Amino acid sequence: MLMCQANDPMIDEERHCVSGVRLTLQEWRAFQVLYGRRGHVVPTRDLIKQVWQVDFPPLNQPRTRTLAWALRRKLAGSPYKITTHVNIGLELQDDSLAPVRAA
């Protein structure tokens, strides 16, 4: 499992919190995987293996959608945004890393 950067002030690994919001164990595992590959699409199959430690049974696809919905809701107001790439996977974007545009 990929770990989050210890120096990120928005993340509390010990309490499984992001921006002060506590995540469930599955949400935390998914966030860790997505955070470790932020800016890149994580295939649904990889996410299922990492979060639920199982191969890719079709029944886990709705769980993944529900998990993404819950994470989006809990991460609202934080610099982290989740994008769904239909039939491919999920991507975590970190707005705090976005380049600053010149005025």
Closest CA to 92 of 55, 39, 47, 52: 39
Q: Which pLDDT score, from 0 to 100, does residue 60 have?
A: 62
Return the sign of the alpha-carbon dihedral for residues 77, 10, 51, 87: positive
d(CA 102, CA 22): 36
pLDDT in tens, 18-70: 988 999 999 999 999 999 999 999 999 899 888 888 776 665 678 888 999 99
Fold for the domain defined by 18-96: Arc Repressor Mutant, subunit A (1.10.10)
- Residue bearing the bigger pLDDT, 99 or 89: 89
What are the tokens at 47?
């996410």
